[in-house]
Structure 1
Amino acid sequence: MKNTIKKIAVMTSGGDAPGMNAAIRAVVRTCAFYQIECVGVYRGYQGLIEGDFITLDARKVSNTINRGGTILKSARSKDFRTKEGRAKAYENLLKESIDAMILIGGDGTFTGGMVFNEEYNFPCIGIPGTIDNDIYGTNFTIGYDTALNTAVEVIDKIRDTASSHNRLFFVEVMGRDAGFIALNAGVGSGAEEILIPEEDLGLDRLLESLKRSKRSGKSSSIVVVAEGDKIGKSVFELANYVEENLPQYEVRVSVLGHMQRGGSPSCFDRVLASRLGVKAVELILDGKTNLMVGIINDKIKTTNLEKAVKGKHSINKELLRVSDIMSI
């Protein structure tokens, strides 16, 4: 490994995700293992512009692997989208004698790192941290497994009420542009229908499916809806449409919202974050840059940041087929 790197910065940016702290911990302790200094950047790119840094060592990240959220905070930064903002960030990095950055976040985070690398040739490595699981170059992103299990647990509870009152529940889960949580949580919780942005089910087919469920003897139903689904303007409008056209159903809506972001990370997310954090530091020490580290078929792989941002992480078509069969 090369010894030109003496100090590495780590930040979390964009939406928080369970397991981000485990990733920070892994980066800090890997730096300590290789006798490299580590600096935390508060509030992502905005903190980079404002010089909001903290020195981190192995003891400062004790008891963080089990904590949700991010100890380094997160924020959106309009200033970093400007050349002036990025120039200030670069100035602060030089002032602190920081040699490279590790960025934990999603496509917006990686886009910022990619632009920064192009302008200043500053070494950047990305770690995918987003509950949406919509990053190309990895089977799983940090936080997805925890969010998925949170959604399934809550839907299970909602089904208790649905079956007790013979109700139809529309349950909206996160997924603005991707239906990974909705599809897997829907299959895992036995939902009668799953609505995702990638597949336009259509109102007519939804109504027919619900009629079929009623005819088959089902007294209650669960429809899991990704927030980015295109059938209705909102899940509430969708629920109203169904209630008007199928008056035999008593319809309710439950929006899970930000509860899916919170909570202690699952074992899977803790292990994934640890593996990716170690590899991110080692890539920098090997002189690599402008890469994202991910996991494919349980092997750690790297992907160019641009490809990670622009590539398409496809929905599992086989799981869609399974969902159709299970909803009979």
Structure 2
Amino acid sequence: MENSSAFYKNSTDSSEFGPIPVSVSVIVFIVLILCIVIGGIGNFSTMVTIVRLPDHPKSSYYLIASISATHSLLCFFVMPVHMASLLVEDHELGGGLCDYSAYAAAILTTTANLLLCATALQRYISTMHPSCFGKVKSSKYTRGMIALSYLLPLMLFLVIKFAVLDEAPEYTPMDLNCKIATSSLLNFLLPVLYAPSTLIMLCSYLMLFYKIKKMRSTVAPVQDNLEVSTPTPMNDYIVKYQLRLTKTIFLILTEHCLTAICPGFMWLAAANSESDPRVLSILAILLMRMGPVFDVIIILVGNKFLRFRIKNLYAHIFGYDSSDPNSINWAV
């Protein structure tokens, strides 16, 4: 708690700086609209598409549906309330909204990261250890991973809320210390859950990448008298899968650098800033809340089947018929 107390002492009351600048309010509004339109609608469409699948989907799709449901809650409800609490001038109302929305956002963000990790781990085990394919693809295993992903952040939240934050000094709700609830929670969740799950996820995808590369060299070996191996359908499929896997790894790295590492440095700069620290703090929170947007892009870029099903879903909603030559060809 020493570091946390130091942060409290270095914070400055918002009344010394006046109202939040209009430019920051405009940025918050634009980012909120982007998150709701891209992150919220994209994740909700993915969840509805999986639920509407005619056959029982694979267990990995249950994990993706859980990720989409978590991000939908974050984009449609938690993030708008959190951002409004940072901009409202009513100290009592803003302070209460800030605390509870910050807790909810931190829990849902960590849950989604654990679900992404479970998806990567499932793919890794089923590919690298085919004998375990039946176990990791079973609905029982999937339900257990989903339950664990929700319970771990919630239990840690209860520990932090009642054992750590209750001992913190009093603060003015609309002071920069309003973000201490988020900061303290994430400072604990990031090293305990977020960082290890990200490391497991990236290691799983890198091992898969190595496995696919090895399969490619086995399927189409280079002959002595040829510079390039003869292309085959299997070789072509592996190359395409390898490229998709590379995109997935790149997007995951980018997303976690933007939404986890950068906000930490921005918060540190805000704590030691002599100017208005609220601007940097709000921008850091906005950056952290962009995770659902990046995650839905990761899911849809790496899964052609889901992209096609979502197109069909909207074709059904808006009355398009893919068999009609005058209508939009949704299968492209």
* Bigger share in strand: 1
Structure 1 length-normalised TM: 0.24
Higher Rg of the two aligned structures: 2
* Bigger share in helix: 2
Structure 2 length-normalised TM: 0.24
